[in-house]
Amino acid sequence: MEPPKEFLDSFKPAAELFNSHLSQGSIVRILTHNDADGVASGGIVSRAASRGGAQFKTTVEKRLDAQILGEVAAEKPSIVVLTDFGSGYLELVAKTLPDVDTIILDHHMPMGDPSPRVVQVNPLQHGIDGSRDIAASGVCYLFAKTLDAKNADLAPLGLVGALGDQQDKGEKKSLKGVNTLIEEDATAAGLLSKEVDLIFYGHETRPIARAIANTTTPFIPGLSSREDNCVAFLNHIGIPLKTGDRMRSLSDLDEDEKRKLFSALSSHMVAQGCDAKTVHNLIGTVYTFKKEEATTPLRDGREYSSLLNACARMRRPSLGIGICLGDRGEAMKEAEQTVEEYRRKIGGYLDWVRTGDRIKELNSIYVLSAGDDIDENIVGVVSSILLGQGILKSTKPIVSAANSDDGTVKISSRIAEGTAYMGIHLGKIMQEAAGGVNGAGGGHDNAAGAFIPRGAEDDFIRRVDELVAKQWSGS
């Protein structure tokens, strides 16, 4: 695509401010969101700061609020950088950091008026879709590249966040929009190759059974997180696991074997209650990072994003930041263990949902009330999987609630991609409904969230149900 000049020019004031602080020896205070996109974003800016000779401190947060920003203000920083959040908290930032130079690198809907000390870079301000065409990690990558062209080697991290935010909405599950410019940088640097194939984690590096078991997008009931079941499945359909003494990977299968595997997986998923259309999510564009070790999860773009997401959701985000900073030793080992724990948790949560008839259908939405039974950091992932499997037979959004460890309730809302184009904007709905119960919310049109007080769940859900119906009728 043609480079969006106005958007690219918008990075210059932020880069000038950042560089001025580097020249003064300022410590760079970085806050970022606790998902794959957020960790990749924070990692990119941390590396840019390090390469610029600056000291930095990076923390990963599930949200911004007055307490968190107040604690940052107490540190008396010279400069704060907010990545993958901040645009939805402009007035809060102005109130809590009135005398601090702040850079916001985000792709969520801006709300409120920024203070004069805030420099915001957001694709939505330039007519670019932040839900599908560039993630926060892409914004942070372009920022880092504006600082120094040598930071072009961080392009893979710019793509990892986009894949983590499921922006592979283009033809054959490819990235699109401004993401393709980042792809071009990665390809030109010899860091990226692409091909269309079955999408399993570890496409060319993992034994077939493990690759299927490690795949959670889409989640394959009975096979995801169950390598023993995958071995039995492959033996049953007659696909050899080995060539001689060597375990075979997906890339070793011939075309007939791939067709046989796809057909068998399709039948299996439909038998498990998944919509027939969802099986096509098994085929798409595979992103391979050529300079990463072939035996690690970092070789595959989607697996890399899942690893960062797992570290964040399992409350070990420092492992993900360390990997983004280049640690391929101890942090890598601990991160891989964390991914295994994360997958087991997701499998257990999905079993809990599927076996207990936990989902309630209202007029305009589905509701999953998880309470303490699903970790607040993972309830959104569970919602996305339920939506992606096609088990929910209506086009209605799903709204999930889980108790937070700070005494509030974490809300996660998701809607199918096609429905998001029919007038529904979950970010606006979350903002309005949460505001009505003394909470806070926001996000994208197809994925959004909120935090509300305990005891306000019924009122909040009623408001969301009414607002979805209202937006739908007005579309």
Q: Is the pLDDT of residue 220 over 80?
A: yes
Using alpha carbons only, how large is the chain's radius of gyration in Å? 22
On the question of pLDDT at 422 being above 80, the answer is no
Q: Is the pLDDT of residue 216 over 80?
A: no
Tell me: pLDDT of 64 over 80: yes
Q: Comparing C-alpha atoms, which of 175, 196, 173 is closest to residue 250?
A: 196
Q: Residue 93 — pLDDT band, cuts 50, 70, 90?
A: very high
Q: State the pairing for strand pair 359-361/366-371.
A: antiparallel
From the candidate CATH numbers 3.90.1640.30, 3.40.50.2300, 3.40.50.620, 3.40.190.100, the one assigned to the domain spanning 5-155: 3.90.1640.30
Alpha-carbon distance 334 to 316, whole Å? Answer: 9
Question: With 90 as the cut, is the pLDDT of residue 224 above it?
Answer: no
- Determine the Cα–Cα distance for residues 388 and 382; give it in Å rounded to an integer: 10
Nearest CA to 445 among 457, 430, 461?
430
Give the least confident one: 85-94, 214-223, 309-318: 214-223
Q: Which CATH number fits domain 357-474: 3.10.310.40, 3.40.225.10, 1.10.510.10, 3.20.20.70?
A: 3.10.310.40
Confirm if 13 and 101 have CB atoms less than 8 A apart.
no
**pLDDT score, position 199:** 87
Q: Which amino acid is at 179?
A: N
* pLDDT at 42 (0 to 100): 98
Predicted confidence (pLDDT) at residue 204 exceeds the cutoff of 90: no
> pTM, whole model, 2 decimals?
0.90
User: Is the dihedral angle over the CA atoms 35, 40, 43, 49 positive or is it negative?
Assistant: negative
Among the residue ranges 8-22, 193-207, 222-236, 394-408, the one predicted with the least confidence is: 193-207
* DSSP per-residue codes, 55-84: -EEEEEES---HHHHHHHHHT--SEEEEES
Give 3-state DSSP helix, strand, coil % of the chain, rounded to 5.
50, 15, 35
Find the range with the poorest average confidence among 39-48, 161-170, 292-301: 292-301
Phi, psi of 82 (to 5 degrees): -105, 125
Return the beta strands (E) in 84-134 as ranges.
Answer: 101-105, 118-121
For residue 475, is pLDDT > 60?
no
Contact 275, 218 (CB under 8 A): no
pLDDT at 474: 61
pLDDT at 471 over 90: no
Identity of the residue numbered 295: T
**Per-residue model confidence (pLDDT) at position 277:** 76
Mean pLDDT, all residues of the chain: 92
Burial of 417 (0-12, 13-18, 19+ CB in 10 A): middle
Sign of the dihedral defined by the CA atoms of residues 44, 50, 54, 58, in that order: positive
Least confident interval from 3-17, 97-111, 277-291: 277-291
Q: What does the pLDDT read at residue 201?
A: 80
In the chain, the amino acid numbered 176 is: K
- Could you give the percent of the chain with pLDDT greater than 70? 97
Any idea where the domains of the chain sit in the sequence? 5-155, 195-352, 357-474
Least confident of 107-121, 360-374, 385-399: 385-399
**3-state secondary structure string, 329-378?**
CHHHHHHHHHHHHHHHHHHHHHHHHHHCCCEEECCCCEEEEEECCCCCCC
Mean pLDDT for the stretch of residues 378-401: 84
E-only strand ranges, 173-257? 192-198, 242-243, 246-247
- Spatial distance between the Cα atoms of 248 and 205, rounded to a whole number of angstroms: 9
Task: Measure the CA–CA gap between 212 and 276, rounded to whole angstroms.
Answer: 19
- What's residue 420's pLDDT? 55
Task: Report pLDDT digits (tens) over 256-313.
Answer: 999 999 999 999 998 988 877 778 888 999 999 999 988 788 999 999 999 999 999 9
Which of residues 280 and 196 earns the better pLDDT score? Answer: 196
Distance CA 62, CA 76 (A): 22
Q: What is the mean pLDDT of residues 420-430?
A: 81
Measured CA to CA, the distance from residue 267 to residue 164 in angstroms comes to 27
Is the peptide bond preceding residue 218 cis, with omega within 30 degrees of 0?
yes
